[in-house]
Amino acid sequence: MSQPTPDKPIQNSPYVVRLPIIISLTLAAGMLLGATFFSGGKKLTDVAKGYAKFREVLMLVENNYVDSVNTDELVDYSIAKMLEKLDPHTSYFNAEEATTARSQLESGFDGIGVEFNIYNDTVYVVSPLSGGPSESIGILSGDRILKVDGENLSGPGVTNAKVFKLLRGKRGSEVKLHIGRGSMKDGLDFTVVRDRIPTYSVDAAYMVDQEIGYIKVSRFSETTYDEFKTALSSLKSAGLKKLILDLRGNPGGYMERATSIADELISGNKLLVYTDGKDSRFDRKTNAKFDGMFEEGPIVVLADEGSASASEILAGALQDHDRALVVGRRTFGKGLVQMPIRLSDGSELRLTISRYYTPSGRSIQKHYDLGKGEVYNEDLTNRFNSGEYFSADSIKFDSTLKYKTDGGRLVYGGGGIMPDVFVPRDTSMNSKFLFELYAKNIIREYALRYVNDHKKVLEKQNFNEYLTKFNVSDAMVNELVQDAKKAGIKYNEKELNRSKPLILAQTKGLIGRYQWGRQRKDGLNNEIFQVLNPMDNVYQEAIKQFGKATDLEKGDFSSLNMTKEK
């Protein structure tokens, strides 16, 4: 998962950086790594003894072990296993892994387009990257990647380097994935066509009507703030009065990009986020500091279980200052701060040094037990099984973690940002037939072929004309079904009818994207969002909630039906 980190990794001398890592291998399980490194070291003698012991064992293995060994690999393995005893987000990347991981936020790359985490030797999808091939075929947050081209990707020996090696490759090449999803007994098979993963992070920015604007932010990368300012300026020029800010599925990224966006929306010098750690040197407060472009006007923020880290910082700041109405579902709950420390050989340690807190004092981080990453990663599945995705009554508040917004509304800590207006996950149009169409790229390939075959007709109209007048015909659906049969997908009329509205919308959206979206140079995918959003129940609810969002901005809570502590 992308972590909210400072823009530039801290550089230290090779000896100073390597020493505390190796030393810490000998510390008791659960002790925070780097305690002596960062805070002066009350037990320097004990640490030195531990380092001496580790060095002694390593030398004995190198000089006397019966077979030849690679000590660098042993050290890497030792570090990785040691970090498993800490929190779920402290991590170590060897030189190759570090380079690849940084590229996810700093530059483009060819691959399948997923943010992932490895827990208990299993690769979990945190979020498919918006606009990437995995998203297009239906890979979901929480999916487990079990096999890649028939090769197992679970069990001992799974590393970031192995995942990158298997998933990345030349654009246009195919990779076959075997996916585990939820409690399904049988896995799902997907064929993903690798592509250039877009470096853009603002996926859509368009006017819904004469007053309402919509901006979708998929992650917080180096260019996100600049992209956001460009999008917001464009919408203001088009008459923006009300804003929908969609952070669903956004796994985070650079914290500074999220707080800069918050500063564009929050007036004065209000607190945006603060951090608190074991060492006071890592305590930090970030306040608004300049006049933003949209400090007045109602805002609705869309969030869900895929919104993590920097997304939660932004949503939390807006909610705590009663600046925006949060609509959707409880966010992921990732509120630990990682400091990237680049080591002498190019490897990188991302060490948890503090926690994030929203302006009201809420901790974003959900509960975890040291050394139990596999339990931590099962949280999303447990939420699904408990019914939290479908009923607000299934969400349990910790009554000991009550906080107040600026206006006195009650909000709760304990992990993630709770929405002001809950909207259940809509599974009414899901079916196995639909998943198989996604898995084998049937809709995507049909839409691309349709564009190529009807280019001259499509070129005679602009996208707005297409959006209002074009309908996917029954003949087109029949052609798509025939494509599915040729690909080995068993036809199921009942499932087709259930999923048909979504199939029609996906087809229309992709045709629009391939015909008009490829002509854009701003990285936006407005065409597909403009087709699909009207069918999205969270988006639909957001449109309905602008009355409450307007009241919220004015400080009038009487019509909001929200808890306010007196």
Q: Does the annotation mark 176 as catalytic?
A: no
**SS3 category, 351:** strand
Radius of gyration of the chain (CA): 25
Question: Which helix H or strand E contains 369, and what residues bound it?
Answer: none
Is the Cβ–Cβ distance between 244 and 214 less than 8 Å?
yes
Question: Which one of the listed residues 218, 309, 311, 363 is annotated catalytic?
Answer: 309
Is the Cβ–Cβ distance between 167 and 148 less than 8 Å?
yes
Question: Which one of the listed residues 85, 216, 334, 440 is annotated catalytic?
Answer: 334
What span, in angstroms and rounded, lies between the C-alpha atoms of 66 and 69?
A: 9
What span, in angstroms and rounded, lies between the C-alpha atoms of 423 and 491?
A: 32
What span, in angstroms and rounded, lies between the C-alpha atoms of 177 and 148?
A: 5
Question: Which one of the listed residues 76, 203, 246, 320 is annotated catalytic?
Answer: 320
528 token code pair: 């597909």
Compute CA distances 251 → 234, 304, 331, 474, whole Å: 25, 11, 10, 38
Q: Does the annotation mark 309 as catalytic?
A: yes
CB atoms under 10 Å from CB of 193, counted, come to 16
111 token code pair: 């691959």
Q: Does the annotation mark 311 as catalytic?
A: no
Cβ-based neighbours of 122, under 8 Å, separated by 6 or more: 144, 146, 154, 158, 374, 377
Buried b (16+ CB within 10 A) or exposed e, 354-386: bbbbbbbebbbbbebeeebbeebbbbbeebbee
What is the CA 377 to chain-centroid distance, rounded? 14
The total number of residues written for the chain in this structure: 566
Residues that are catalytic: 309, 320, 334
